[in-house]
Chain A
Amino acid sequence: MTQPARGVHPLVAVAAAAFLGLAILLQVVRDRSVPADVFVQRLLYVRSPQVLDRVVLGFDALAADVYWIRAIQHYGGDRLDVSGRVRKYQLLYPLLDIATSLDPYFNIAYRFGAIFLSEAYPGGAGRPDLAVNLLRKGIATQPGKWEYYHDIAFINYWQLRDTQAAAEWFRRAAQQPNAPNWLMPVAAAMLTEGADRTSARFIWRQMLDADQEWLRNRAQRGLQQIDGLDQIDQLEQIVASVPHRSGEPYSWLEVIRAGRLRGIPLDPSRTPYVIDPQTGRVSVSDQSALFPMPETKK
């Protein structure tokens, strides 16, 4: 009869560590020689929320979390992608649709998801229609949630430029339980003044008090964009005031030499403004955190 071995023989431990080291080495060699995205396919195998709801049994909320994390990664990855090889954000709506179907009370997935979808391309999917669909789905589950009405109003105002519809949604938001009292005045301002920067600035300032950090960040960016629009108006006036020889390209150097600016002007995100050499029009750089800019009346 042999006795069972006690403890681990040093040679076994060394051999095991060597094999593990070899495996890691091969992994590193493989990752360096073959780019990871060769094998990463942009696939969503199951697109039906109803089917997924069945498959995950009682773990719907956890599955919703997984799809929410996938949606964030998909959005973030595509937003940062500069290769131009992928059609951006194509899975965003299906991922958000599944997340909110598996967990119909997933508040942030509706609200944050609507921002991802409605932001102008390439900063977002440029699909305000889908953003409104997503928020309407949220309203169907929680009809008293004033935030969803407010977000639809804002998309109508900021992205779709439909002030009548925005006013109507602000009015509906104001009628919901616990709605803040500033919504009704905003609805009135929409109807009387339309898409002007003063109204936009007022709404963004209200959103600075939101309880969600991402919403406050979004409001901060919105305010910076409006400040940027005001600065662009001023810069275009300055450019126009500098004598310009026809045929020559417009440039910041020309304006600086004329003594009208001390240096290349920076937008509120600290990125240099761009001047169009042909027309002298000023805009934010596509590298700026504020790009793309909205269009509003002064």
Chain B
Amino acid sequence: MRAVRYVAINVFRESIRDRVPYNLVLFAVLLIGSSYLLGQLTAGQDVKIIKDLGLAATSVFGLFIAIFIGIGLVSKEVEKRSIYALLSKPVSRSQFIAGKYSGLVLTLAVNVAVMTVALYAVLAYMSWTESAQFKAGWERPAADPALLKALLLIFLELMLVTAIAVFFSTFSSPILSAAMTFGLYVAGHFNADLRNFDKVVDSKSAATLARVVYHVLPDFAAFDIKTQVVHGIPVPAMYLGATIGYGLAYIGALLLVATFIFSRRDFK
């Protein structure tokens, strides 16, 4: 466990050295700048749009960090040959993968946490500066705690993207890993179509195949509840719980396969 922690902390430190926190400044500037500009453009919908923008930016910034750092986590060590020095120490290959993954998840957690605080700060400021009459027109309060549900699922989605990136990183080049991770991210958002394939085709075998692919591909669309929380549409606890469980199980499966592949690699 200690070995995992050391590797994870090193990944986190490396991300700080790689200036990943700069994106937080960009996020803050984007939110504060747009909250001023949108007030002039959106006919009283600035709070809704700030919520949409904040949630989307958290997701996009995190996605870039997860993909572009995740794909290099393992392959960079191999390319730089630092893997030899690392594996000669009392660190097993499974601990190495777990540590690398945990380190990037820690980076993402800090990232999402800071973005959440920034988003709530901007929304609280907007709520504080508006009149009670203007606020009466809002569907939901500005600093609505329900946003945390969407942010939780965004974080889980990023954890899943990181697991995919680490998985590809164990056996493929960074460019190919990035392409495949992004490809799976896009395909995972169309997953709902595969579930309903039997309604548009007559062939039973095609429908069964689509159903299998639906279950095998990561179901990224399930993590998207941004529209619901912004409009105050209830998200059942059952849905939230099942999606969190699904994400964690899928991540577990990916990391196990990644560890298996990595443990069979020959670095001679």
Contacts and interface: CB of A to CB of B under 8 A. Distances in A.
Interface of A: 54, 57-62, 64-65, 68-69, 72-73, 103, 105, 107-108, 112, 211-214
Contact of A212 (B44, B53, B233): B44
Most buried by B among A54, A61, A69, A213: A61
B105 interface: no
A213 B44 contact: yes
Given A69-B41, A212-B137, A57 B189 contact: yes
Given A61-B56, A69-B42, A211-B133, 15 more contacts: A58-B223, A58-B224, A59-B56, A61-B227, A61-B230, A62-B52, A65-B48, A65-B49, A65-B52, A65-B53, A72-B42, A105-B231, A105-B233, A108-B48, A212-B137
B139 to A, nearest CB: 7
Contact of B45 (A59, A68, A73): A68
Contacts of B185: 57
B41 A103 contact: no
Most buried by B among A62, A68, A73: A62
Interface in B203-254: 220-221, 223-224, 226-227, 230-231, 233
Nearest to B139: A107
A257 B122 CA distance: 61
B136 interface: yes
Interface of B is mostly: helix
Given A65-B49, A213-B137, A58 B59 contact: yes
A58 B49 contact: no
B267 to A, nearest CB: 33
Contacts of A73: 41
Top 9 A-B residue pairs of the complex, sorted by shortest distance between their CB atoms? A58-B224, A105-B231, A211-B136, A62-B56, A212-B137, A211-B137, A61-B52, A65-B49, A57-B189
Nearest to B60: A59
B190 interface: yes
Interface of B: 38, 41-45, 48-49, 52-53, 55-56, 59-60, 133-134, 136-137, 139, 185-186, 189-190, 220-221, 223-224, 226-227, 230-231, 233
B224 A108 contact: no
Nearest to B46: A65
A89 to B, nearest CB: 16
B153 to A, nearest CB: 10
Contacts of B45: 65, 68, 108
B147 to A, nearest CB: 12
Given A57-B186, A58-B220, A211-B136, A103 B227 contact: yes
Contacts of B49: 65, 69
A65 B42 CA distance: 9
Most buried by A among B136, B137, B224: B137
B34 to A, nearest CB: 10
A108 B221 contact: no
Contacts of B226: 58, 61
Most buried by B among A64, A105, A107: A105
Nearest to B56: A62
A96 to B, nearest CB: 12
Contact of B42 (A58, A60, A68, A212): A68
A108 B45 CA distance: 8
Most buried by B among A57, A58, A72: A58
A212 B137 CA distance: 5
Nearest to B230: A61
A19 B136 CA distance: 50
Nearest to A102: B227
